Amino acid sequence: MIADPTYRGFALDADTALALLQWQAEMGADEPCLDTPLDRYDLPDRAGAAPAPEPAAPPVTKPRDEAKDLVAHAETLASAATTLAELATAQESFDGIELKKGARNFCFCDGNPTARVMIIGEAPGEEEDRLGRPFVGRAGQLLDLMFGAIGLSREAVDAERALYITNVLTWRPPGNRRPEPAEIAMMLPFLTRHVELVQPQVLVLMGNTPCIAALNQQGILKLRGKWTTAFGLPTLPMAHPAYLLRTPLAKRDAWADLLSLAAKLEG
Ligand code: URA
């Protein structure tokens, strides 16, 4: 074509021919015409030919298997811890949980580990994430007032009057969203070991998330105030103080639950 100085009767110089060729290439023409005709109907039957071997697929790891592996790893780390300090170190080092990447501080516990009462909350919020201690924001201030009303405090040195506090999750979920079931499952081995090492006399589950973790049940407004057993210990589910801040009328039930706790400790 380029060798022919005319194209359909038009004179074609080399520059114009090159520009036309480039234009065709840009339009997607990727095969030049052959010098001799080719009968494509006479080509060997491609449909009957043995298919080209497919490249080997990479091994598939199912997300559910990965999650199981992470829970198993968490179990190994947690069960190896023989003290609270070792447990905190093991839990902080565990990289399986994505929340760790977005959180500012590891939030393990507060209060007195010899306390008779261990409170389990949901997860750190903004203030807790900033300070690395559970229940130090508005909900935490209400929690202190509530338990103070029955003579219990996280500052108390005396085990009889002391509180020990932790959360199901030790890293803040972004925007304080609810913990996901996979996150709860991954932290459960650490929580289980935490309770074993503290050995409190009773547990208080604050809100739905610890009820999901410890009882595999939710519906805190039905569960609250009814003594049950979790981790082999007498356990009282209660409405979360954040809920009480939004729903002041629910404080009456919370007061009844606190009196029930005080009576249990008296007994
Ligand atoms: N809510 C919780 O459940 N835990 C905290 O530490 C703070 C708020």
Q: pLDDT for 13-49, tens place per residue?
A: 777 777 766 666 665 555 555 556 666 666 665 555 5
Could you tell me if 146 and 245 lie in one domain?
Answer: yes
3-state secondary structure of 229: strand
CB–CB of 174/208 below 8 Å? no
Q: Are residues 12 and 83 in the same domain?
A: no
Q: Is residue 2 located within the same domain as residue 112?
A: no
The pTM is what?
0.78
Which phi and psi angles does 164 have, rounded to 5°? -125, 135
Task: Give yes or no: residues 90 and 14 share one domain.
Answer: no
**135 close to ligand 1 (CB < 6 Angstrom):** yes
pLDDT tens column, 208-266 = 999 999 999 999 999 999 999 999 999 999 999 999 999 999 999 999 999 999 999 99
Ligand 1 within 6 A of 139 CB?
yes
Domain of residue 25, residue span:
1-34
CB 87, CB 194: distance < 8 Å:
yes
How confident is residue 150, by pLDDT bands cut at 50, 70 and 90? very high
CA of 244 to the centre of ligand 1 (A): 13
Does the beta carbon of 183 lie inside 6 Å of ligand 1?
no
Examine the domain organization and report whether 130 and 183 are in the same domain. Answer: yes
In a domain, residue 139? The reply is yes
